[in-house]
Amino acid sequence: MGTTGLPTNITQGSRTKGGIGESTLRPDGTLKVTGEFAYSSDMWHEDMLWGQILRSTVAHAEIVSIDTGEALATPGVYAVMTYDDLPTDVRNYGLEIQDTPVLAHGKVRHHGEPVAIVAADHPETARRAAAKIKVEYRELPVITDEASATAPDAILVHDNRTDHHIGHVPHPNIVHRQPIIRGDVAKARERADVIVEGEYVFGMQDQAFLGPESGLAVPAEDGGVDLYVATQWLHSDLRQIAPVLGLPEDKVRMTLAGVGGAFGGREDLSMQIHACLLALRTGKPVKIVYNRFESFFGHVHRHPAKLHYEHGATKDGRLTHLKARIVLDGGAYASASPAVVGNASSLGAGPYVIEDVDIEAVALYTNNPPCGAMRGFGAVQACFAYEAQMDKLAARLGMDPVEFRRINAMSQGTALPTGQVVDSPAPVAELLRRVKAMPMPPEQQWLAAGEAADVRELPGGLSNTTHGEGVVRGVGYAVGIKNVGFSEGFDDYSTARVRMEVVGGEPVATVHTAMAEVGQGGITVHAQIARTELGVTQVTINPADTRVGSAGSTSASRQTYVTGGAVKNACELVREKVLELGRRKFGTYHPAWATAELLLESGKVVTDAGEVLADLVDVLGDEAVEVEEEWRHRPTEPFDLRTGQGFGHVQYSFAAHRAVVEVDTELGLVKVVELACAQDVGKALNPLSVLGQIQGGTTQGLGIAVMEEIIVDPKTAKVRNPSFTDYLIPTILDTPTIPVDVLELADEHAPYGLRGVGEAPTLSSTPAVLAAIRAATGLELNRTPVRPEHLTGTA
Amino acid sequence: MRVTFTVNGRPQEADDVWEGESLLYVLRERLGLPGSKNACEQGECGSCTVRLDGVPVCACLVAAGQVEGREVVTVEGLADYAKQRAEHGGCASGACGTADAAAGTPLDEARRRAARGTDSHTGEGTELSPIQQAFIDAGAVQCGFCTPGLLVAADEMLERHPNPTDADIREALSGNLCRCTGYEKIMDAVRLAAARQSEGV
Amino acid sequence: MDEPGPPHTIWLDRNHSETTETKKRAGQMDFLRPASWEEALAAKAEHPTAVPIAGGTDVMVEINFDHRRPEYLLDLNRVGDLYEWEVGEETVRLGASVPYTRIMEHLRPELPGLALASHTVASPQIRNRGGVGGNLGTASPAGDAHPALLAAGARVEVESVRGSRLIPIDDFYTGVKRNALAPDELIRAVHIDRADGPQQYSKVGTRNAMVIAVCAFGLALHPATRTVRTGIGSAAPTPVRAKAAEEFLNAALDEGGFWDNGRIITPSVAKQFAELCSAACNPIDDVRGTASYRRHAVGVMARRTLMWTWESYRGDAARTEGVA
């Protein structure tokens, strides 16, 4: 962990072993290494059926007819359902705008849209039956970009929109538009000694979590359904599922099954409603597991974007203004597009002081695959563009790119283009300084092993493309700003139920939340918080389900903050009750019960001076103390629809990267040698998990820099590479060492001073790699991912 | 068709197997061994890595009928496999000697172990192989979906290569994708297991 | 709070006898398990549509993703000969199913080009299962072994109940994913001359491991005949040789007395060789790369592999040959 002479942490440490600040190990670790941990795809139920989804083979078409007869007649098939079989009038769902049909009705709007569902007694039977459903399409022209979306005669992707954005968008094929206007750009431009412009293109990234969408729906005797599923937000799913099934929410009982990664891709529904429909129709448990091909169609992706940026600066390196336009392709359905627009616009200027700003961000409706949440959420695309701009400006001014950033770095107290004054540490310059100060990896590492070149250390790796020929090293830097938590006035809360009792002669805390543990280690942290607050060593974490209140989503870097905050809050309330119990039982024996500040530590009630007053076992006796309570962070407010002004985000998170790459300049192949990161985490509740988040996020940023892209045919809007053969994510041979310098500057508004960690590293990693490749090649490179053809003039 | 083979030292029989089923499907859906994960079904992720007659392979690309009479080790059997190897001072695979079928853990016993007590969901007290323990200790597990395949691959690499260089580790694990960790903690885990192994801990 | 236990304990408690009711009605397919080569040939003669499966690394992907539902799968795992190789005085006879891992580990001195190519195949797990028989049977232009086999001048031993024949590799690839096999024939082995000079292999992918070739290049120097052979993968409808480039280089090496004097190949010769190799490509644009890039990259690989092999021929092996 890094140390600092800057403001100190508000640490509420604990002398109870396994509390916050320690790298305690995952409670599910043993299950996960023995193969016993049950992921959603591992579930099994006696008599269960397999569900299969038939998806559209075209992107935009009217459905002329659907013939399910032959499929239904297939032996082993129990049900085939189409739009006509939906049980209620609620036939759409959506995170914010209910524009997504459960099953296509009259029209399909993107390649791979669900048209019909089948339940059968073997997955192969279900596949064969689905293949026998005859769907006749009448194809429509496809809308694939801003020009085709807003053309005068453009077909509307959604007719008769009634959502709350339609009133302020310039065209019905625009989901949402958010300007951020501050100062006077025209005037500021006159002060600029240099102006740089750039047009940037950001490819469509897939979350590519390894555990495909899956779940098991079990019909219940009361007419309801029990759903075991991998998701990011149980209660949001529930709110969307129940009305479609025509069931009250208490009859749809959801339990989180093991989640094989998420990264935003499980924020929207996938197979949930389909499995429930089939289970209720057949009266049998139904399991649906997507394969990898289907997974590429089964969840939203990161919005591809086109970004136009213009920055000005004075000769001495101070930014004068920013004018930017960010066009995000939301695809066929809204998903999280409005919030992504909010982030891309409000964070579009990056972590810099710029007084005069004019940013506009829009998300389009097109016939491309729907896009929504993915780690970094709008801020990633913007960071790629503004960081490229910073390097261009520095180059134009003949300045060192890190020094140029330092001069313009924001800090605590800076007013962002939204007018929001950042009221907690924003150590942008310090992060850059630290990442630059880290030791450089040795030159020509491929010769380190001996005389012969070790191709594994070279661009091309095992493919043996170079033994050093054409290889040039480059170094690049980037820094980014990400919001933490839900923004723009959203009521962002979580709920925790904490219980304390004596079990087997020992005080035990039980924590029950609906937080989706998707791998991030939230349950590890909950146990740590309970230990710290309640002085116990044994903590039981209940499975997440809908029998407890909502925890909000495992996204937006928010769970340690918000559900962690809720657990802390509930623990504090339990502690008060326990102390009250203690005062009633033992208060007369020692005056400190009434006068001192009391803590629970190592199974005992102690005074702040360390004097032991009682054993928790004795205080609790046979009683159990339990609290369920919602907890909220400070409220935020919506951005003004014309100016974008407002206290929109509750917290900001910052990371900086230095990338060192070797580029085979002749073949256009890249080896990232090292990706160093410095990040402020406020307070590392679990330092090991913090590193895991930073290194994982960094690697996803590396992926979008050099290899990851869903390729959509612009003529047909069909996905061309829905497989792990052609959608490539980094292997261990593509991933460099990732040294991390963690800074802990407390945010006094947040529990324990913590700062959300998960997303910031995904922002700056990509532009740092791109900057390094530019440094090695001298090329402008205005798109990501950068492919060999872009580096060799053969695109 | 019927397929009879040995899994984690225990004879297994699967009936009415569809000819197009993979070893992975049979393990997961017919034998109650879902530890091997299905993440891509095309040999591009390594999540289903098992040992087939001692050799790491993608179970998704082995046709069920091809394993007739052969020996498979999955993550569920890794701890026992490693234990036998340690006890016999070498390799526990069928490739290097005869595995003692009777020494495998019966499935029922493994289940009882999993279901034991209220702490069952932490799995505490379960005997682990060195590589499994190292993955936990080093923080190499996040969502854990890639973990079973990585463990089988890493364990086999350490069997062949007790003191690997970083490049050796990366090459040996280059067929196993992980989306959560950025691989750094996985590298730490393998180094840790190698170090503990060479210290004889 | 009822039932504090985790949900998975319920689901792990399976009773497998209940699951076995599924019938073959799902997708009609027969799984043939010949115990010997003769049985395999007989089965293939009886069922010419049977799809041979050995490593499964191509066939199973197609079955898993519903791209293929053959009537018969012909499992070759039980045919022991296919996993054996013989190193003769002149030639290696390599069983069709010998895994790439074995080729890398055991045949590098005899078949250096193919050993290098084997090392670029997919992942360790795939290399443990797949062999050249699969590459040849599938005959995808992206198969990693092809350029090395072309450069080495391999012969493919195929057999049916009617008899056996050796197909020169130059005649083997007949179209996109098509080969010279008759419907009743199976690939038994590949005959490859033991290397009489340096061989190299390069493959471009957009990832540093586990990647399908954007394009690939194999080059073998044959000092015994004073010839050079090449192979190009993924840059034409079939794997191809760059014959004009070979002829040019053979002539240039001959004229300059290079084979005897061991001089450094002049940049202009290397450049022209590279250009002719690029010209031998007939690539397409696809999601893995552009046609233009493929042509370019083949040229770069041609030049580099020529330099590496030639340096090696000149006796300076240690410095230029890659390891790993």
| DSSP string across A325-386 | EEEEE-TTS-TTHHHHHHHHHHTTT-SB--SEEEEEEEEE--SSPPEE--TTTTHHHHHHHH
* Chain centre to alpha carbon of residue B174: 16
The reply to whether A146-206+301-372 shares the fold of A40-140+212-259+266-298 is no
pLDDT average, residue stretch B145-152: 98
User: What ipTM does this complex have?
Assistant: 0.96
Question: In terms of CA atoms, which chain C residue is nearest residue B47?
Answer: C125
For A513-555, write each residue's pLDDT tens digit. 999 999 999 999 999 999 999 999 999 999 999 999 999 999 9
Q: Which of A320-329, A410-419, B100-109, C57-66 has the lowest mean pLDDT?
A: B100-109
Strand locations in C33-97 (E): 51-53, 72-75, 85-87, 91-95
Instruction: Please check the confidence at residue A468 and state whether its pLDDT lies above 70.
Output: yes
Instruction: Please check the confidence at residue C320 and state whether its pLDDT lies above 60.
Output: no
Give how far B88 is from chain A: nearest CA, Å.
Answer: 22
Instruction: Please check the confidence at residue B124 and state whether its pLDDT lies above 80.
Output: no
CATH classification code of A40-140+212-259+266-298: 3.90.1170.50
Can you give the pLDDT at residue B103?
35
CA–CA distances in Å: residue A391 to residues A306, A400, A679, C135 = 19, 9, 21, 47
Is there a contact between C289 and A125 if contact means CB atoms under 8 Å apart?
no
Give how far A706 is from chain C: nearest CA, Å.
Answer: 8
C-alpha to C-alpha distance for A9 and A683, rounded to whole angstroms: 7
In terms of Cα–Cα distance, which of C231, C268, C249 is closest to C313? C249
Can you give the pLDDT at residue A16?
78
* Strand order from edge to edge, sheet including A604-607: A598-601, A604-607, A612-615
Can you give the pLDDT at residue B88?
82
Distant-in-sequence, close-in-space partners of A649: CB < 8 Å, separation ≥ 6 = A346, A420, A483, A484, A485, A487, A636
Name all domains of chain C by residue range, CATH numbers in brackets.
80-193 (3.30.465.10), 199-315 (3.30.390.50)
C-alpha to C-alpha distance for B24 and B80, rounded to whole angstroms: 20
C-alpha to C-alpha distance for A220 and A229, rounded to whole angstroms: 16
Distant-in-sequence, close-in-space partners of C269: CB < 8 Å, separation ≥ 6 = C249, C252, C256
Is there a contact between A261 and B79 if contact means CB atoms under 8 Å apart?
no
Q: Hey, is the C-beta of A38 within 8 angstroms of any chain C C-beta?
A: yes
For B15-43, write each residue's pLDDT tens digit. 999 999 999 999 999 999 999 999 999 99
Q: Would you state the CATH architecture of domain A146-206+301-372? A: 2-Layer Sandwich (3.30)
In terms of Cα–Cα distance, which of B51, C13, C1, C171 is closest to A497? C1
- Burial of A795: CB neighbours in 10 Å, binned 0-12, 13-18, 19+: middle
Averaged confidence pLDDT in chain B: 86
Q: Hey, is the C-beta of A666 within 8 angstroms of any chain C C-beta?
A: yes
C-alpha to C-alpha distance for A536 and A785, rounded to whole angstroms: 49
Instruction: Please check the confidence at residue C8 and state whether its pLDDT lies above 70.
Output: no
* Strand order from edge to edge, sheet including A134-139: A107-108, A61-67, A134-139
Which residues from B are below 8 Å from A519, CB to CB?
142-145, 180
Give residue A15's pLDDT band: very low, low, confident or very high (50, 70, 90). low
For A566-600, write each residue's pLDDT tens digit. 999 999 999 999 999 999 999 999 999 999 999 99
Averaged confidence pLDDT in chain C: 90
Which residues from B are below 8 Å from A672, CB to CB?
none
Could you tell me which chains touch chain A, where touching means 3 or more CB pairs under 8 A?
A: B, C
In terms of Cα–Cα distance, which of A380, A407, A394, A410 is closest to A200? A380
Q: Strand, coil or helix: what is A311? A: strand
Q: What are the residue ranges spanned by the domains of chain A?
A: 29-37+493-632, 40-140+212-259+266-298, 146-206+301-372, 417-485+643-791
Q: Strand, coil or helix: what is C10? A: helix
C-alpha to C-alpha distance for B77 and B99, rounded to whole angstroms: 12
**Max Cα–Cα distance, chain A, nearest Å:** 85
Instruction: Please check the confidence at residue C296 and state whether its pLDDT lies above 90.
Output: yes
The pairing of beta strand A305-313 with beta strand A371-372? unpaired
Question: In terms of CA atoms, which chain C residue is nearest residue A544?
Answer: C6
pLDDT average, residue stretch A124-144: 97
Give the CATH fold of the A29-37+493-632 domain. Answer: Aldehyde Oxidoreductase; domain 4 (3.30.365)
C-alpha to C-alpha distance for A608 and A786, rounded to whole angstroms: 58
Q: Which of A335-349, A373-387, A692-706, B81-95 has the lowest mean pLDDT?
A: B81-95
The pairing of beta strand A538-541 with beta strand A506-512? parallel
Instruction: Please check the confidence at residue C130 and state whether its pLDDT lies above 90.
Output: yes
Can you give the pLDDT at residue A1?
34
C75's tokens: 């499992």
Is there a contact between B61 and C129 if contact means CB atoms under 8 Å apart?
yes
Give residue B105's pLDDT band: very low, low, confident or very high (50, 70, 90). very low
Q: Would you state the CATH architecture of domain A417-485+643-791? A: 2-Layer Sandwich (3.30)
Instruction: State what percent of residues in chain C have pLDDT above 70.
Output: 89
Is there a contact between B118 and C5 if contact means CB atoms under 8 Å apart?
yes
Phi-psi region of B188 (alpha: psi -120 to 50; beta: other; left: phi over 0): alpha
Q: Hey, is the C-beta of C212 within 8 angstroms of any chain B C-beta?
A: no
Averaged confidence pLDDT in chain A: 96
pTM as predicted: 0.94
In terms of Cα–Cα distance, which of A400, A466, A384 is closest to A662? A466
Phi, psi of B74 (to 5 degrees): -115, 175
pLDDT average, residue stretch C263-281: 97
C-alpha to C-alpha distance for A479 and A431, rounded to whole angstroms: 8
Can you give the pLDDT at residue A558?
98
C-alpha to C-alpha distance for A459 and A446, rounded to whole angstroms: 10
Give residue C9's pLDDT band: very low, low, confident or very high (50, 70, 90). very low
Which of B19, B167, B174 comes nearest C30 by C-beta? B19
Q: Hey, is the C-beta of C211 within 8 angstroms of any chain B C-beta?
A: no
Give residue C315's pLDDT band: very low, low, confident or very high (50, 70, 90). confident
Question: In terms of CA atoms, which chain C residue is nearest residue B69?
Answer: C78
* Chain centre to alpha carbon of residue C17: 43
Are C97 and C76 in contact by the 8 Å Cβ rule? The answer is: yes
Can you give the pLDDT at residue B201?
53
Q: Hey, is the C-beta of A87 within 8 angstroms of any chain C C-beta?
A: no
pLDDT average, residue stretch A385-410: 98
Can you give the pLDDT at residue B117?
31
Phi-psi region of A333 (alpha: psi -120 to 50; beta: other; left: phi over 0): beta
Start-to-end C-alpha separation, chain A: 44
Give residue A452's pLDDT band: very low, low, confident or very high (50, 70, 90). confident
DSSP structural state of residue A637: -
Are A733 and C119 in contact by the 8 Å Cβ rule? The answer is: no
Phi, psi of A351 (to 5 degrees): -85, 50
Q: Strand, coil or helix: what is B175? A: coil
- Following CA atoms A705, A710, A715, A716 in sequence, which dihedral angle do they give, to the nearest 10 degrees? -170
In terms of Cα–Cα distance, which of A501, C2, A526, A36 is closest to B116? A36
Give how far B66 is from chain A: nearest CA, Å.
Answer: 19
Which of B30, B43, B63 comes nearest C19 by C-beta? B30
Give residue C27's pLDDT band: very low, low, confident or very high (50, 70, 90). low
Can you give the pLDDT at residue C22?
42
Is there a contact between B37 and A260 if contact means CB atoms under 8 Å apart?
yes
Distant-in-sequence, close-in-space partners of A419: CB < 8 Å, separation ≥ 6 = A182, A645, A646, A647
Can you give the pLDDT at residue A176?
98
Question: In terms of CA atoms, which chain A residue is nearest residue C29?
Answer: A124
Instruction: Please check the confidence at residue B98 and state whether its pLDDT lies above 50.
Output: no
A399's tokens: 């300045």
Could you tell me which chains touch chain B, where touching means 3 or more CB pairs under 8 A?
A: A, C
Place of tokens 């034998």: B31
In terms of Cα–Cα distance, which of A9, A5, A251 is closest to A744? A9
- Helix H or strand E segment including C168: strand C163-168
Instruction: State what percent of residues in chain A have pLDDT above 70.
Output: 98
